Structure 1
Amino acid sequence: MPDLLLELFSEEIPARMQARAREDLKALITDGLVEAGLTYASAGVFSTPRRLVLTVEGLTAESPTTREERKGPKADAPEKALAGFLRGLGIADAAPVMALAGQPSGAHVHLDGVVVEVRDDKKGQVFFARVTKPGRPAAEIVAEVVERTIRTFPWPKSMRWGDGQLRWVRPLHSILCLLTTEAGSDIVPVAVDHLTAGNTTEGHRFMAPGRFAVSSFDDYRAKLQRAHVILDSAEREAIIWNDATTAAFAQGMEVVEDKGLLAEVAGLVEWPVVLMGRIDEAFLGLPPEVLQTSMKEHQKFFSVRAPSGRIERFVTVANRTTADDGATILKGNQKVLSARLSDARFFWENDLRRVTAAGLEGMGAGLASVTFHNRLGSQAARVERIAALAETLAPQVGADAAEAAAAARVVKADLQSDMVGEFPELQGLMGRYYAKAAGLSDAVAEACQWHYSPLGPGDTVPTAPVTVAVALADKLDTLTGFWSIDERPTGSKDPFALRRAALGVIRLILGNGLRLPLGDLLRARLEAAQADDLLGFFHDRLKVHLRDAGIRHDVIDACLAMPGTDDLALLVARAEALGGFIASEEGTNLLQGFRRANNILTQAEAKDGVEYSFGADPKFAESDAERALFTALDTADGVLAPAIAAEDFAAAMAALAGLRAPIDAFFEAVQVNAENAIIRRNRLNLLHRIRAACAQVADLTKIAE
């Protein structure tokens, strides 16, 4: 069984595209091989800046021969019907087939590898075709699949060069394609425009120029290593991280971890060489986040942190070793870094002057000329709405109303700063620095930094009261604003990140145990129908959020049928208690008893045309099981209402659990539809009491069977 080695060698592939390209290459090739009838044992993909590589082990030597039978038209069908059938088989001449009409069943002809015969059928003679497709050698199939893959590869962006029509992310220089067996290796005859596959590749552009031949994947990988190319991106990442942390440790420092940057840098080099440099003293007064962001975005440098917390050094990764151990490379990088950090220092100092002169509100004055949305006004108008809502929310989250409103008026000010203009990812964080520089309180500064949070499912939920008030106001204003102009998420489209905003509100409420009347807040800003629709949107997002916590959708639906569903904390507490209860043996059995009671009662009400909701009288009970159920329901009713009022759902579930045995015993011993009309009516009213008791906790009819 041969092994396949494929290398597509090009100019530098952008690092951000390499991981996706590896997976696409693997999927396109292996899927194509399988569709053509080949199987394989395993496949692996690799990339460097200049190559995509696929290795497939244990490939079958040829595809199997396949046989297929197709039923055609009746022998006396119109000639056009027969011609169409034969055309689908690749047969142009219909005359030999037409001659079969009227001959004995089984008569046949051989045409272009296809056997066409006539058979007797219940409705007359019918043509059948037996198509045999002989297996094909793996090399032929691989050549077709590779060519198709190259021509249709789904690069996010691609280019043409020269006079050819081939598109690739960067100019494609060569194709290496081998099938290797114990007897040796053979070049697969792949041809794509001006490129023909061979058995040669290149090593490092500078340290090992020139082409060399390979005979297998192991040979290829070993020779690349000797030619200063580390094929596996994971191995390059490990080398970079190990050398960087070792160098930092030797100086009593640590490298700031950044997995995204590590993966990107590993995609920029084929032979990683770690170099550490110093940051000029003139720039050490910049906030560490500014240093880190500037070095990452502009130079792809790792930040090195001193024990004091200051970013004092950097790590860069060269793509080659040099005679001076990288001194020249490091000198050039430091020169460029100084220029970049000079810009950052200018932004920082200029922003501080503006804050000192006019305060943080002065910095944000320009938001009046920045449009938030053409139908929702300016950013300044939005800030005023957020401030008013934060002031309203403050008492409900334990914050000072005046401080929450003051914080809301400045949390967006840093959007007008030079620093955030250069590095948008620092918005919020720079607001904190500028708030402190303006002499504002710690609570306001913290709100500036964290009011965007939580941004995603794994993001930390703020807990400081002022921050919580502003964060809720920010997200609720976004949601109510877009709902008011009928701009809602549709399908997978959510251009304004409204699902994320709703999840942020949910996590702020649940994470801080807030008891907010969400419905009142929404109705104060929206028409009733819009508010109800937005509340439903919150409920849908809550289902998604709770699903990850193991709470089923039907459990939430059962709780949504109860009053107070705009209090998300109450809703979740009820759902958690109900979910735990129905997962228990008592809950499962009680649910079965409830369904039996509800089904009997529903059928009887439909038949009799009445609603059985009158009080059942124990004096008509005829058995101990019936009397015991009366007693159990009296006991449960005495507990349920106070427990629900006190929001003690655990006690309420325990009260329901006490009904399990009496309900089971009742159905075993008692026939509900008794012949005596009075007894029957009393027992149906008793079933209503079971339904009513359960309905105090949740609508159990929503629970899936």
Structure 2
Amino acid sequence: MPELLLELFSEEIPARLQRRAAEDLKKAVTNALVDSGLVYESAGAFATPRRLALTVTGLPAASPDTREERKGPKVGAPDKAVEGFLRGAGLGSIDEAKIQSDPKKGDFYVAVIEKKGAPAIEILKDILPKTVQSFPWGKPMRWGSGRLEWVRPLRAVTATFGPEGEEPEIVPFEIDGIATGNQTFGHRFLAPDAIKVRRFDDYVQALEKAKVVLDIDRRKDIIRADARQLAFAQGLELIEDEGLLEEVAGLVEWPVVMMGSFDEAFLSVPEEAIIATIRANQKCFCLRDAATGKLANRFILTSNLVAEDDGKTIVSGNERVIRARLSDAKFFYDTDLATPLADNLPKLENVVFHAKLGTQAERVARIEKLAAEIAPLVGADVTDARRAAQLSKADLPTGMVGEFPELQGLMGRYYALAQGEKPQVAAAIEDHYKPLGPSDRVPTDPVAIAVALADKLDILTGFWAIDEKPTGSKDPYALRRAALGVIRIITENDLRLALNAFVKNGDLLAFFHDRLKVSLRDAGARHDLVDAVISGDSDDILQIVSRVTALGTLLETDDGKALLAGYKRAVNIVVAEEKKDNTAYTGGVDAKALTAPEETELATAIDLARTAVDAKLAADDYAGAVSALAALRAPVDAFFEAVLVNDTDPAIRANRLNLLARLRDTMHLVADFGKVAG
């Protein structure tokens, strides 16, 4: 079957846009094909710095014929209704419509619209230019006198269509003065001449010969493998960086990997600062000594050229730039070290955190106060927590953080240690920002925990106070991340912390509940169990988590499943009878009115379970409380097998309904089983 090959050849497309652009191109074209009746077998999209390419295989030579019956107005309808029907159906007169009869609605007009299928190449001639002209670049540009908006100047369009074994046709259209053809171009420097192409397979092979690797993932594999091999040969290990690898693969069409070096004297600068400098300025990878694990004074660069001098000039140029950038980094580091962190605190008075929440200095004061309150609750020294909170933002005015904001906290730790602060204080300066995401670690030292919780609780309570809450997908202040950070710090450190002591806003507590539900569901917990154990005033995160776990364990057993079924049966009966009697059954059971042995046994079992549940909950043993409920399974089953609840004696009936209400209320001490599915 025929195949489409499309290439949009341009000046350099920014690396960060390439993968998304390729997918957008595939989606736009294939959706339009399907809408036009052209169903295909497969499609693939590719990107290099200078081209977007698309192949669609298994296309039919033409779209199928279609036949549609469009229902119109009743026979005898007003003229305007008939005229509208004729226009919509494309009919010249009502005589071209047929009449159908409906036993209930009478006679009405029906237009039979038949359309002949169109040649695929004619459909492509319409689809492809529209796709290009409406392409969703975030910030497109125009150039010269043209009207086309594209990410960078478009230079050529290749568009061919045809079956295997035949010379494909050029899909004829024009984009802003650029006519389609069957030619592409190789590497800008290594093979710049035009290349005639036919189908996708020979297109890929021709580009490969012209020093262009079309597939970005293959370019990534080449860079990764060659970098690891170069490193291994020198007794080094590559510091893996998937984000940088993606970017570098988007900067080259023919990746050539080389190794350079820098002066060992720069290794006195913290390795994170060196890595950030080399990564940001030269898009190069750093290396570690395989034996010691320490940062090596080597780096990996990726060139887009096969140099005649084996890359010596390219390596030398990169070394020269990196030397200059590392000199700047060393200057920043040495200058920052000479200034005690505490001396930076007055500078925070001139840094606005938020117009309605004050300066960074005011925020630090709030964090310090909160950290001092939290410290005894998490086993941290109050003085250390205060000091760490006081210095938590003190590295923001430093030169290094000004140059690389992503190093905030980390540089504060380095400076604090060098200036004689306690290790736990220094660690808290770095770790109070954590966790920054689901894969980031959480702080584990008590001082860091206190400051991290204080930092996040201050953000949340502050923005709730000024009514700046997340809405829909918008969360400009990362408040969801802050709440999830609090949850992870508490749960992963097994902390018992009552949030109500710090969260005075009911809406904010509900926000924590929502985030906790998301977190537990992501961890595999059943959403109904989460709903069952959370009440409006639940403020102990660890307790909620343990309750969900214990309840889930019970309901995985046969006893638990049977007990849940008995609970639901009991509640359904009570609810139905309360509605019928227009009264509420409150669980007050008259022991003397219990006539059947099964109801006596159930009443005794409920009393024993209630006593045990109360004792276990008082001892904060939720798992024990859940386990105590399991003993109800047998007497509940026996009761429903032998006892008729709606006895003819009104007093016996009411007593049995109260017994079931007492069962319900006892189980509700542990969780709202009414919210449990099953």
TM-score by length of 2: 0.96
Which residue of 677, 685, 690 corresponds with 2:663? Answer: 690
Residues 170 and 182, structure 2, Cα contact 8 Å, conserved in 1: yes
Deviating more after overlay: 81-90 vs 456-465: 81-90
Residue 457 of structure 1 deviates from its aligned partner by 1.6
Code of the residue aligned with 1:696 in structure 2: it is L
Partner SS state of residue 69, structure 2: strand
1:236-255 correspondence to structure 2 within 5 Å: 236-255=219-238
2:8: which partner in 1? Answer: 8
1:174-573 correspondence to structure 2 within 5 Å: 174-181=156-163, 182-306=165-289, 307-308=291-292, 309-354=294-339, 359-523=340-504, 531-561=505-535, 565-573=538-546
Partner SS state of residue 173, structure 1: strand
Code of the residue aligned with 2:556 in structure 1: it is A
Residue 118 of structure 1 deviates from its aligned partner by 4.0
Residue 469 of structure 1 deviates from its aligned partner by 0.3
Deviating more after overlay: 645-654 vs 541-550: 645-654
Partner SS state of residue 284, structure 1: helix
1:120-139 correspondence to structure 2 within 5 Å: 126-139=108-121
Deviations 1:278-314 (A, max 9, x none): 1123422211111110111111011112244123111
Code of the residue aligned with 1:369 in structure 2: it is N
Compared with structure 1, are the counterparts of its residues 682 and 120 closer, same or farther at alpha carbon in structure 2 (3 Å cutoff)?
closer
Is 1:641 aligned to 2:614, yes or no?
Answer: yes
Deviating more after overlay: 606-615 vs 549-558: 606-615
Deviations 1:504-560 (A, max 9, x none): 11111111111112102223xxxxxxx111111111111111111222333222212
Residues 118 and 127, structure 1, Cα contact 8 Å, conserved in 2: yes
Residue 610 of structure 1 deviates from its aligned partner by 4.0
State how far apart, in whole Å, the 2-side matches of 1:76 and 1:609 are: 58
Code of the residue aligned with 1:386 in structure 2: it is I
Deviating more after overlay: 479-488 vs 404-413: 479-488
State how far apart, in whole Å, the 2-side matches of 1:425 and 1:659 are: 57
Residues 587 and 660, structure 2, Cα contact 8 Å, conserved in 1: no
Which residue of 603, 625, 634 corresponds with 1:661? Answer: 634
Residues 70 and 89, structure 2, Cα contact 8 Å, conserved in 1: no
Deviations 1:43-76 (A, max 9, x none): 1111111011111111122111000011223443
Code of the residue aligned with 1:421 in structure 2: it is G
Deviations 1:97-145 (A, max 9, x none): 3xx4xxxxxxxx4xxxxxx334556666533211111111111112222
Code of the residue aligned with 2:652 in structure 1: it is I
Code of the residue aligned with 2:195 in structure 1: it is F
State how far apart, in whole Å, the 2-side matches of 1:269 and 1:626 are: 80
2:82: which partner in 1? Answer: 82
Is 1:591 aligned to 2:573, yes or no?
Answer: no
2:550: which partner in 1? Answer: 577
Residue 683 of structure 1 deviates from its aligned partner by 1.3
Deviations 1:339-361 (A, max 9, x none): 2112112211111122xxxx211
Is 1:703 aligned to 2:676, yes or no?
Answer: yes
Residues 288 and 311, structure 1, Cα contact 8 Å, conserved in 2: no
Code of the residue aligned with 2:295 in structure 1: it is R
State how far apart, in whole Å, the 1-side matches of 2:119 and 2:430 are: 63
State how far apart, in whole Å, the 2-side matches of 1:613 and 1:217 are: 76
Compared with structure 1, are the counterparts of its residues 59 and 409 closer, same or farther at alpha carbon in structure 2 (3 Å cutoff)?
same
Deviations 1:353-410 (A, max 9, x none): 22xxxx2111232001111111111100110110011011101111000100011000
Residue 609 of structure 1 deviates from its aligned partner by 4.3
Deviations 1:14-60 (A, max 9, x none): 00000100110111111111111011111111111101111111112
Q: Percent identity?
A: 54
2:30: which partner in 1? Answer: 30
State how far apart, in whole Å, the 1-side matches of 2:77 and 2:599 are: 76
Alpha-carbon RMSD across the aligned residues, in angstroms, is 1.7
Deviating more after overlay: 663-672 vs 628-637: 628-637
Partner SS state of residue 396, structure 2: helix
Code of the residue aligned with 2:69 in structure 1: it is E
1:108-147 correspondence to structure 2 within 5 Å: 109=96, 116-119=97-100, 126-147=108-129
Compared with structure 1, are the counterparts of its residues 125 and 599 closer, same or farther at alpha carbon in structure 2 (3 Å cutoff)?
closer
State how far apart, in whole Å, the 1-side matches of 2:237 and 2:113 are: 69
1:627: which partner in 2? Answer: 600
Deviating more after overlay: 628-637 vs 659-668: 628-637
State how far apart, in whole Å, the 2-side matches of 1:490 and 1:229 are: 45
State how far apart, in whole Å, the 1-side matches of 2:644 and 2:53 are: 75
State how far apart, in whole Å, the 1-side matches of 2:393 and 2:535 are: 39
Residues 47 and 231, structure 1, Cα contact 8 Å, conserved in 2: yes
Code of the residue aligned with 2:135 in structure 1: it is F
Deviating more after overlay: 173-182 vs 646-655: 646-655
Deviating more after overlay: 432-441 vs 188-197: 188-197
Residues 364 and 414, structure 1, Cα contact 8 Å, conserved in 2: no
Is 1:167 aligned to 2:149, yes or no?
Answer: yes
Deviating more after overlay: 315-324 vs 81-90: 81-90
Deviating more after overlay: 549-558 vs 338-347: 549-558
Partner SS state of residue 197, structure 1: strand
State how far apart, in whole Å, the 1-side matches of 2:541 and 2:149 are: 53
Residues 291 and 311, structure 1, Cα contact 8 Å, conserved in 2: no
TM-score by length of 1: 0.93
Deviating more after overlay: 635-644 vs 465-474: 635-644
State how far apart, in whole Å, the 2-side matches of 1:614 and 1:188 are: 80
Partner SS state of residue 129, structure 1: strand
Residue 324 of structure 1 deviates from its aligned partner by 0.2
Code of the residue aligned with 2:529 in structure 1: it is V
Compared with structure 1, are the counterparts of its residues 604 and 71 closer, same or farther at alpha carbon in structure 2 (3 Å cutoff)?
closer
| Structure 2 unaligned residues grouped into runs of 5+ | none
State how far apart, in whole Å, the 2-side matches of 1:183 and 1:273 are: 37
Deviations 1:144-194 (A, max 9, x none): 221111011101111111211111111111111111312332211232221
Deviating more after overlay: 320-329 vs 571-580: 571-580
